[in-house]
Amino acid sequence: MSFFLHKSNFLLRTVYPEFWWKIDDSVEPTIYLTFDDGPIPDVTEFVLEQLDKYAAQATFFCIGDNVRKHRDMLYKVLEAGHMVGNHTFNHLNGWKTDDATYLENIQECQQELNVETDLFRPPYGRIKKTQVAEVIENYSIVMWDVLTGDFDRSLPADVCLRKTIQYTEPGSIVVFHDSLKAWPTMRYVLPRMLAHFAERNFSFRAVPQPIYAGY
């Protein structure tokens, strides 16, 4: 089982206060669903179907190379009224990548998206301070309050669901993945998570961004 924190801790939030971890600006209980690493045929379509059942909005942090290969999936995301963000072109780990290459990869993803967005999420949540200084000039860096762990094949799906429900609260930014790796667990957890919080009168919204001009 890979090690990760289901709930982002206080220390991380303190080190990077300029990042978005939660959004506490709504008068009603709201969850901000996000999906990383797509778009992928079948997987992303399943996510869209589940979201539609609850009139839920979400933000999809797309890998540029997947957009290049599956542009029709990007169109489906946008046509359904969801938002998109930049997740680099090749899912680069910022800690292991020189700054110039990292910034170029973000720009390459942006060109492939061809959608105005000011949202960026670093793959693995790993980004150097020097990279932050450049990226934050053009993007809001969106991290998370709750990491579902749907990508961890050794984590039982029912445990993933239980932990996700346990740690999610009003204002939480929650990370799922519309990827082949996460698909077996995500397709179990997402519909049950949506049903659980919908029954408790939560709404589901996309991470807000001031710039959006369609595609």
pLDDT of 28 strictly over 50:
yes
Residue numbers annotated as active site? 36, 177
- Which residues lie below 8 Å from residue 78, measured CB to CB, with a gap of 6+? 84, 115, 214, 215
| Whole-number Cα distances in Å, 136 to 46, 114, 140, 142 | 32, 19, 6, 10
Mean pLDDT of the chain: 94
pLDDT of residue 106: 98
Band (pLDDT 50/70/90 cuts) for residue 213 is very low
pLDDT confidence tier of residue 61, bands split at 50, 70 and 90: very high
34 phi and psi angles, rounded to 5 deg: -130, 150
pLDDT of residue 15: 84
Single pTM value for the model: 0.94
Compute the C-alpha angle 94/204/89, nearest 5°: 25
> What mean pLDDT do residues 196-205 have?
97
pLDDT (0 to 100) of residue 12? 81
User: pLDDT band at residue 214, thresholds of 50, 70 and 90?
Assistant: very low
What's the Cα-to-Cα distance from 72 to each of 40, 87, 133, 168, 185, rounded to whole Å?
A: 10, 18, 33, 32, 24
Domains and CATH numbers, the chain: 20-205 (3.20.20.370)
Confidence of residue 10 (pLDDT cuts 50, 70, 90): confident
Backbone angles phi, psi at 65, to 5 degrees: -65, -30
pLDDT at residue 210 in the model: 62
Tokens of 24: 């506490």
pLDDT at residue 212 tops 50: no
Condensed to tens digits (0 to 9), the pLDDT of residues 90-140 reads 999 999 999 999 999 999 999 999 999 999 999 999 999 999 999 999 999
